[in-house]
């Protein structure tokens, strides 16, 4: 096994060093130009457009009551969806990594569903379930419960779209770490809860933080699913991405890009945190 791996690495190392110079130059150039055209230029354009009408107008668009309400709603939805997915992700990863049970492979497949299906469809599913003409609509109306066009719907849609992230981060981690330390803790007299808090949580902590960062970034930026269930009520059921779209449709380009730049800043912050955590995980394992 070791010999085979070494041999493979050796072949690969030689292959990269014998690549002709012009091939390397072309590959690097293609990557750099592509990233430049599709990532760097749009990023700069967002900030340039946002600041087009001057810093005053930029700040004005951000402290606009509708924008602040959208920011607040976005954070609220994320603040409910992320902890839900944290609990679900740990439970699902635990079940899949530790136990063999009927339906295990189906569960693994279903965890990936939100990544495979278009978010719009996810939103429509919730409308079909909870909308006024939906399956549970009449019952909910009778009990004065509102899901669609209200915070619960936005939270549901956000939770659905973001639930794979924590679980997907933890499953391979927990599978590679094995179960021996947990068994040792039990034999040493720990209760299952003590075992989880003292052994399992510290073992998976960085993977967990990483998953939460990915999950949060997606929760803050989700558009499609939320768009379907929110109803776009300005100042009430609009999240930041929806507010950007509304402003854009109203030809308020400066304001649209100002609010968009806020989302970009959050995304960049998330990237930095991810890099830091990834480096930390590499060092501790």
Q: Give contact residues for another protein (rule: CB under 8 A).
A: 180-181, 183-191, 194, 198-199, 202-203
Min dist. Cβ of residue 192 to another protein (A): 9
State which residue, 9 or 188, has the beta carbon closest to another protein: 188
State which residue, 118 or 191, has the beta carbon closest to another protein: 191
Those residues whose C-beta lies under 8 Å from the C-beta of residue 101, and which sit 6 or more positions away, are 95
Min dist. Cβ of residue 180 to another protein (A): 4
Min dist. Cβ of residue 200 to another protein (A): 11
Three-state secondary-structure class, residue 103: coil
CB 98 within 8 A of CB 174: yes
Min dist. Cβ of residue 224 to another protein (A): 40
Min dist. Cβ of residue 197 to another protein (A): 10
- C-alpha span between 264 and 275 (Å, rounded): 17
State which residue, 203 or 218, has the beta carbon closest to another protein: 203
Q: What length is written for the chain?
A: 285
State which residue, 145 or 188, has the beta carbon closest to another protein: 188
Q: Give 147: exposed, middle or buried? Use CB within 10 Å, 0-12, 13-18, 19+.
A: buried
State which residue, 72 or 104, has the beta carbon closest to another protein: 104
Q: What is the dihedral of CA 155, 268, 245, 80, to 10 degrees?
A: 10
Three-state secondary-structure class, residue 191: coil
């Amino acid at each position: 096994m070791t010999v085979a791996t070494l041999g493979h690495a050796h072949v690969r190392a030689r292959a990269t060093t014998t690549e002709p110079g012009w091939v390397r130059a072309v590959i690097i150039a293609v990557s750099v130009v592509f990233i430049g055209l599709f990532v760097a230029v749009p990023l700069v354009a967002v900030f340039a457009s946002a600041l087009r009408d001057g810093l005053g107008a930029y700040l004005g668009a951000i402290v606009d009551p509708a924008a602040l309400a959208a920011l607040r709603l976005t954070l609220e939805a994320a603040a409910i969806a992320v902890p839900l997915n944290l609990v679900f992700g740990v439970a699902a990863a635990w079940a899949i990594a530790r136990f063999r049970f009927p339906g295990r492979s189906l569960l693994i497949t279903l965890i990936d569903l939100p990544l495979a299906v278009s978010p719009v469809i996810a939103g429509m599913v919730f409308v079909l379930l909870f909308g006024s003409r939906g399956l549970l609509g009449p019952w909910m109306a009778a009990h004065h419960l509102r899901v669609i066009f209200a915070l619960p719907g936005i939270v549901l849609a956000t939770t659905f779209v973001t639930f794979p992230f924590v679980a997907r981060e933890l499953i391979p981690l927990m599978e590679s770490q094995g179960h021996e330390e947990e068994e040792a803790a039990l034999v040493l007299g720990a209760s299952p809860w003590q075992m989880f808090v003292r052994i399992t949580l510290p073992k998976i902590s960085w993977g967990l933080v990483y998953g939460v960062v990915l999950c949060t970034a997606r929760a803050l930026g989700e558009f499609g699913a939320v768009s379907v269930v929110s109803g776009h009520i300005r100042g009430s059921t609009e999240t930041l991405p929806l507010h950007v779209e509304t402003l854009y449709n109203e030809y308020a380009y400066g304001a649209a890009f100002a609010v968009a730049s806020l989302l970009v800043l959050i995304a960049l912050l998330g990237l930095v945190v991810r890099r830091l955590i990834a480096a930390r995980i590499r060092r501790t394992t």
